Structure 1
Amino acid sequence: MPSLSQSIITNIGADYIETYLKKKGFSRTDEEKGQELKYWVDNLLKEKKIDIDEFEEFLFSELFWGKRKTIQIYKLDKTKDYRYPRDWELPLEEKYNIDSLNFFNILGSIPNSEEPRKIASVCSEENLKGELVRIRLLFACYIQVNGDRGYKDSVAYIPVEVDFSRKIMLIKAWTRQQIAHEEHKAYSLMDHIKRLMGIEFKVATRNYMSEHKKILFLMSKSLIYEAYSHVPTYNEIENIDGVIKNFIEETLSGLSLRNVEVNEQGKPVLAEGVMDFEAEVRNVLEGLAISDYFFDRDFDEIWKMGLEAVVARVKFNDEERVLTSLSGENTSAPIFCTKTFMSLKNRMEEAERIETLWITMDRKKGNLNLKFDASNMEYLEILIKYGIRFNETDMNSALEIYEKYETKLNQKIAEQSKIAIGQ
């Protein structure tokens, strides 16, 4: 008889299971109100009141996303070796006794110390050619957590999605507290499952190298300048271009600076390498326009500007290999409103690579706060921040904004290659 384990309840949350059952028309009687959720659900299952297939689909959705907000994204390689259903059917049957690529048995797949790893669900899609479009595996891993009286047995669910359309593999985990052993922590389990995907299912991946850092730079720069373009005074700066140039000339002529030279047009300029004086002046004016626009305004008004996303924080290595982290000066302020960012914007643009990028996107309920981490050349990591109920729509939003700038970078590289060939 199927049974709802405490591990499943912990990994989803009792309130969400109760809410699902209420939507399906189940409510506790006065006698049942004192019962633990597990026993109440087990009675409903025993009496065959719950549709098992629907309940399994609900559990799958919650365990594939939900609390699993740490995501590692790998680029697929050599997909012809594992693109067809037959490439998965044999290892699934031999190693996990699963004879279908659409299999749901979360209630009956609870690992233990004797059998520490199971696949609780498999879900796949094929195209008209008989090729896999995607395959999703839900691994259930035995772990131990620290309890009041020693170790307690539990389960960590590690969802894996191989998406052949996007040519990526996603591995997710819940970074849970009170894990008793290092090998049971989220990152250790994710590394273990990544290796298993290669050994058991022949999934090959290739490194990003620095590509994801360049994409994050392009994303951050584009989003920041998109915000600037909505500030009327910022767009007026180019109208005083002559005033700026005159100010620079008068300043360089009026001060007894050691490194002033005269260019071919007979105008004073700073020697190369001293500083980009004009860029610094423009930075000050941009900062003035931005600070003036947002002074004494509620930062919630940013969403009324119709922005795709707001950059909250960046971390990058500059030319001097100094790791610099810039963030909003309070939790509601975007980075482009801060004095620190305006003073270091040029250094970030010279680096053309971002190690870590935090952005905020608008969402139907609340905001979607994302951290993109490109510090590991093997994969891109995405962390879903703060207390939302993470779902498939959120995952697609994160992937789509990254892919948008990945496409732009690839187009830029292709255009540069054409120019180089033409020369």
Structure 2
Amino acid sequence: MDRSDKPRVVLGVSGGIAAYKACELLRRLTESGHDVRVVPTGSALRFVGEPTWAALSGNPVTTGVWEDVHEVPHVRIGQEADLVVVAPATADTLARAAHGLADDLLTNTLLTARCPVVFAPAMHTEMWEHPATAENVATLRRRGAVVIEPAVGRLTGKDTGKGRLPDPGEIFEVCRRVLARGAAPGRDLAGRHVVISAGGTREPLDPVRFLGNRSSGRQGYALARTAVARGARVTLVAANTALPDPAGADVVPVGTAVQLREAVLKAAEDADAVVMAAAVADFRPAHYAQGKIKKREGQEPEPVALVRNPDVLAELSAARPRPGQVVVGFAAETDDVLANGRAKLARKGCDLLVVNEVGEDKTFGAEENEAVVLGADGSETPVPHGPKEALADTVWDAVVHLLNAG
């Protein structure tokens, strides 16, 4: 692929300690076939030097508008970009972008860009929570930019809290999804809060054993990533997954069906849409053994009595804590897939039901999926075998249609 044929990405780097992590994002972008121009601020070069950015990108690096003036870089770089991503985006950079300041090459580029723009903030918790930053973020989102929610974790020094730069691999996934949508309505979930459940619940039998299922959480995480790329504020209720947190999602870890119910209902209070992609156990042991259940020679084990778990999907569908809220369920079936799916859709009372056939070698843990999205209005949307992100986008297309119709 010639350089002229590659998607052109501008990687803006602000002056924060997390600037070194942008090297990994740059590597992922270049190795996946993107032509990347790094535009750091002057402060960023105090953390990572110009030779590093030039060597990793294969492109010249400048910070001011007075270099290579004959090429008019302060206009041309933004005009020619297919995507601009700023990682890390400090509170100062967010403020300057929101107010249209243009005192260096990065802010000039942001003003001239007519492509999608992604900001990955990184700062101390107090700075992220300050009303000024909140207003600047809201302004940028209102204009169509994707501002990823920062991660929670260790910050500079001994501080811990929200404000950590998300994992560079997950920022790359957001960028990839934004680029992949191309001419499609990019940020059609902007201003919306969506709640997604993912993974599989585990119901303890004793301190070392549990009843569980094969769900990996990959489909729920694909739903979270695509929702972030489409501009949504995302709450991801994750049950027993081993996947990295999707950039921009507020992740709430849970273990059991009861814990998942509590977390989902709480998050759903102000949600525009709830997508129940988790495999929630229908039953749990009636009794929990305080000590490990022993195997005794010559004796058969005692039968395990089960009780029903709460039906979170049906409860959500009936309650609708927010007017106009869209509720989506998932149905994992092994036979009579569509018939069982239609019956479940009617029984649960949700707006959409994603039905797929599962088994030991199907769907669970796989990178791809195949499904049919059933609507309460009688519609059927088949999604052919392919990446789980493709199914996720089909689900969000249907959700956006319902939200706009309401």
TM-score between the two structures when normalised by the length of structure 2: 0.30
TM-score between the two structures when normalised by the length of structure 1: 0.29
Higher gyration radius (CA):
1
More helix by share: 1
Bigger RCO of structures 1 and 2 (CA < 8 A, at least 6 apart): 1
